[in-house]
Each structure stands twice: as structure tokens, then as C-alpha cells.
Chain A
Amino acid sequence: DTGVSQNPRHKITKRGQNVTFRCDPISEHNRLYWYRQTLGQGPEFLTYFQNEAQLEKSRLLSDRFSAERPKGSFSTLEIQRTEQGDSAMYLCASSSILGQKTPLRGANVLTFGAGSRLTVL
């Protein structure tokens, strides 16, 4: 397994266009997260899935954002009618809740992908 894979790594688009990012998590991980990060800030939670079920979505997430994980494997994050304020790094992370395999008392350690950088002109 090569870890969490995201593509595209970079996307430049004009305001008003739609963009879609893809995330392929670590195969044995059943949880998948999307975060957004801007320069000098920590990751901002967007949404997460357990298998194919979207269990939580940030209240900060507008209706222009939608995420899917149709077969419980890869996930897509779509942003419709992009705005300049959407420019950020979009990070995907995956984890397993099988705590018995971790020495960390069941802690949910996230493994991040390299991110997809979005620039909206």
C-alpha cells in the first residue's frame, strides 16, 4: 500500500467553475476524512465517512460542497460554482478504528494524503 493518494495535486480554475478532487485511502482503513487548510492555519474539518456512510458534515460547509464515497473505498469532493475564498489545500485522511492493532489505546490516528491545492482566479 502506498498510503493515501490524492489527485489532482494542483488545480487552477476560474471563479464559477466546478472542480472535483479524488482521494484513494489506505485500503484497510474504513474511515475517510476531508479537511481544508490555508497557509498558516491548521486543518479545518469538512466531512468524514465510515465505509460508504457520510457520518458528519461541518456546519461551515456550504451547499456548494459535496462529498461521496460510493463503494466505501475512494472518495470525491466536488466544489460547485467556485469562489476565490475556496482557494486552499484540500487534504484527505484515512484511519482505522480497529484499536486492538494500535498501541495507542484505540486512538484514531489519521494518515493524510499530500493534498490537492486549489487556486480560484
Chain B
Amino acid sequence: GQNIDQPTEMTATEGAIVQINCTYQTSGFNGLFWYQQHAGEAPTFLSYNVLDGLEEKGRFSSFLSRSKGYSYLLLKELQMKDSASYLCAVIDSNYQLIWGAGTKLIIKP
């Protein structure tokens, strides 16, 4: 079967750094997305990785290791508005998008 694993919930402090991990077992791999979803709102695109390595975009960075079936999203200089769920999604060999259940990130002052 296909599986995406993410921690259910994480807590971090404003101004700090947090790393949200995602491991996947899918039938093939054609890329990995990270989306942010605030409570009651739609998911919004954050990043896309298809090659190994780190992609940096402002305060957010995403890393991929295809051999390990592993990705992480790194959030720096945390702000209260970063409190949200972070969804990892993988494109499999059939170009289907397989979603994780999301990680709820709670930022404390």
C-alpha cells in the first residue's frame, strides 16, 4: 500500500526553528509537495521537490532524500501566523497525488 507518515502535532516557540518530517512509501516517485493549511481554510502551496537536496524559499526550506523516502520542511524565525497544519503530498508513478494526514504546528509566544 501507499503511505505518507508525518507527526500529528508539534509545538514550537515564536522566533525559533522547527523541522517537520515526512516519510513516504509509494509506488514510484515523481515529486513531493508541502502545503500549508490554516484552520478552516484551503491548503496553499509552499514547496516542491523532485531532486535530492534543499530548496530554500525565504523562511521556509524543504529537503528531499529519494533514497531514504524522506523529506522535511524547515521553518525559521517562527511567527504566530505560522500556526497551521502542514501537509506532505507525494506524486506516485501513476501521477496520483498521495496526501499525508498533516502535522498541526502550534506556535507559543
Binding site for B on A (CB under 8 A): 4, 40-45, 91, 104-105, 107-115
The answer to whether residues A112 and B43 also contact, given A42-B87, A42-B100 and a CB cut-off of 8 A, is: yes
Q: Is the interface of A mostly helix, strand, loop or mixed?
A: loop
Binding site for A on B (CB under 8 A): 4, 8, 31, 33, 41-45, 48, 50, 87, 89, 91, 95-97, 99-102, 104
How far does the alpha carbon of A12 sit from the alpha carbon of B104 in the complex, in Å? 27
How far does the alpha carbon of A109 sit from the alpha carbon of B50 in the complex, in Å? 13
Q: Which residues of B contact A42 (CB under 8 A)?
A: 4, 87, 89, 99-102
Contact A107 B41 (CB under 8 A): no
Distance in angstroms from A107 CB to nearest chain B CB is 5
Contact B96 A45 (CB under 8 A): yes
How far does the alpha carbon of A44 sit from the alpha carbon of B97 in the complex, in Å? 10
Contact A104 B48 (CB under 8 A): yes
Distance in angstroms from A41 CB to nearest chain B CB is 5
Distance in angstroms from B17 CB to nearest chain A CB is 24
**CB pairs A–B below 8 angstroms (13 shown):** A40-B8, A40-B101, A40-B104, A41-B101, A42-B87, A42-B100, A43-B99, A44-B99, A91-B43, A107-B31, A108-B95, A109-B33, A114-B42
Q: Which of A91, A104, A105 contacts B42 (CB 8 A)?
A: A91
- Closest-by-CB residue of B relative to A117 is B40
Distance in angstroms from A90 CB to nearest chain B CB is 11
Distance in angstroms from A103 CB to nearest chain B CB is 9
Contact A110 B101 (CB under 8 A): no
Q: Which of A41, A43, A45, A105 contacts B50 (CB 8 A)?
A: A105
How far does the alpha carbon of A105 sit from the alpha carbon of B30 in the complex, in Å? 11
Contact A113 B50 (CB under 8 A): no
Contact A112 B102 (CB under 8 A): no
Q: Which residues of A contact B87 (CB under 8 A)?
A: 42-43
Contact A114 B50 (CB under 8 A): no
Q: Which residues of B contact A40 (CB under 8 A)?
A: 8, 101-102, 104
How far does the alpha carbon of A45 sit from the alpha carbon of B97 in the complex, in Å? 8
